[in-house]
Amino acid sequence: MSQGKSNGDAIAEAIHQRATVIVQLPPERREARYQDFRAAYVEAVLNMGASRQVAEEHAAKMEEFTRSLVRIIEQAAAAETAEHKPRDFA
């Protein structure tokens, strides 16, 4: 195996970067960003010679994974915020 990132590592890093961008957006702007990322992914897969159907199927999986990662990031941030919140013991 060659040194550096594998294709899987590169894809995981790209998904993480995209999720990080989305989680910083207000909720009303997120859907448009998901669609932008999905369109870019379809285009990339088509450029690799895949059929439109295959590209759309892969894009749907990538979008769902990105949405899941956004939820995980949000939950982790909420848990961290709650952990550092002063408690009222009265």
DSSP conformation letters of the chain: --SS--HHHHHHHHHHHHHHHHHTS-HHHHHHHHHHHHHHHHHHHHHTT--HHHHHHHHHHHHHHHHHHHHHHHHHHHHHHHHHSPP---
Res 4: pLDDT = 66
Instruction: For residues 13-41, give the mean pLDDT.
Output: 94
When mean pLDDT is compared across 7-16, 31-40, 51-60, 78-87, the lowest value belongs to 78-87
Please say if the pLDDT value at position 3 is more than 70. no
**What pTM value is reported for the model?**
0.76
Across the range 48-64, mean pLDDT stands at: 96
Would you state the pLDDT for residue 5?
A: 75
Q: In the prediction, which pLDDT does 6 show?
A: 86
